[in-house]
Amino acid sequence: MASSPNLDPGGKRRTYGIAVLIVSTYLVMTANGGMFLLVVSLKQMAGEFDWPRAVPSLAYAFFFAGAGIGGIAMGWWYDRAGAGPVSLLGLTMIGAGAMLASAIDSRWQLYLVFGVMMGLLGYAAIYGPLSINVMRWFDHRRGFAVGLVTAGEGIGGTIWPPVFRYFNETVGWRETFLWFGVFVLVTALPASAVLWRRLPGRDAGSRVEAGRIVDPQAETPAVPERAIRLSTLATQTAICLAIVGCCVSMAMPVAHLVAHASDLGHATARAAEMLAIALLVSTISRLVAGAFVVDRFGGLVALLVFSGLQTAAMLLYAAVDGMLALYTVSVLFGLGYGGVNICYPVLVREYLPRADAGRRLGVILLFGTFGMALGGWLAGYVFDATGSYTPAFLIGAAFNVANLIIVLVLIRRARTGRSAPLRPAPS
């Protein structure tokens, strides 16, 4: 029998699926370093150029805005071409962008590199497409699979801040940017070759029609896995609004915790450790959430739980200033932050048509990155205006409360709508 370009069902597919899972996690971890370059170097960069902190904070905002806008195009491209070519572009832009950022001497250059190269054409091609891609390889325990891939963010957040802090203080932020770019191009690009194998459906009978991969054995592509008493458009809109609320909140500690803790009189090394601990816990949270919360209770209930934890952490960040207290709150923040991140790809799979899942997740992540951009910039702006991050953390908590309200409404609609037929609506 002639061999097929697709994987045979069974053992070969499972083995290759594990390889895709591991490589995808590594690529997300590596790409996430581009963001932490700016986070850890924020004070040094602002000091060298005599900039207010709002300048690097705005570059951080452009990174997420670019990643969100680019995510729609990258999701559309992924739906048609698969993860291989998309990830190749993203990794090349992140590596080259970091190298170019090491030579900047003006604001517009910083904004261009982080907004266009590392955001629009870089991270946009990694996080969303690889999160959706890995779920194609697993019929069961998808929560754990996507949790592990998105845990690459947390692993990167654990590794990169201390590494960047050390090299910033020994060789300078410019050299740190340069060698990180080299590292991405030398290690991540070759690893991404694993993703070029054509994506399977549920079996080897998948085929390509009109640019999309079609699986004749799978469920109807236009019908979500779970019913909800809202139109498809209304469901996607609600999820988009929800992600803004939680992302504005989570961006503030991610972008400013190192600066906040050092402003309170703690050593920079300790401040970087607080961020690293938060992101290490977020990694554990993603794995536990995927395995036990998302797979058991679904994405909406998991989002309610973890968004609630994040809200509590934001309120505590505004209230405490001791080292032990900040370490403790960072653990709580990591639990919420990590769990929230895996819920949105799962919600797309559960409640929206799967045929164009890449594009739909791209739209949702666009709103999320706008939230991250707004939160990162807003915290810097509020600090410049008040001399403190406390008001910013309270504003972040308020955004998270709005997220919780939307999620509660969706849970109520989902519970009453499980046995109800879907309402036809424009997508």
Q: Residues, the chain, total?
A: 427
What is the share, in percent, of the chain residues with pLDDT greater than 90? 42
Separation of alpha carbons 185 and 180, rounded Å:
9
Work out the average pLDDT over 6-16: 59
The answer to whether residue 75 scores a pLDDT higher than 60 is yes
pLDDT tens digits along 193-223? 999 876 544 433 333 333 344 443 344 455 5
Q: Residue 1 above 80 pLDDT?
A: no
Of the chain, the end-to-end C-alpha distance in Å amounts to 42
Res 50 pLDDT > 80: yes
Whether residue 140 has pLDDT greater than 70: no
Question: Which of 1 and 10 is assigned the larger pLDDT?
Answer: 10
Q: Are 337 and 396 in contact (CB under 8 A)?
A: no
In a 10 Å sphere around its CB, with 0-12 CB exposed, 13-18 middle and 19+ buried, how is residue 3 labelled?
exposed
Q: Could you tell me the domains of the chain? A: 11-200+210-417 (1.20.1250.20)
Amino acid identity at 107:
R
**Nearest one of 272, 247, 248, 278 to 260, comparing CA atoms:** 272
Q: Which of 129, 150, 121 is nearest to 63 (CA)?
A: 121
For the cut 90, the answer to whether the pLDDT of residue 39 exceeds it is: no
387/427: higher pLDDT: 387
- Mean pLDDT in residue range 59-71: 85
Average pLDDT score over residue span 142-157:
78
Query: What is the pTM assigned to this prediction?
Result: 0.69
pLDDT reported for residue 290: 63
- Is 80 exceeded by the pLDDT of residue 84? yes
pLDDT at 170: 92
| Percentage of the residues of the chain whose pLDDT score is greater than 70 | 85
Query: Which one is predicted more confidently, 283 or 245?
Result: 245
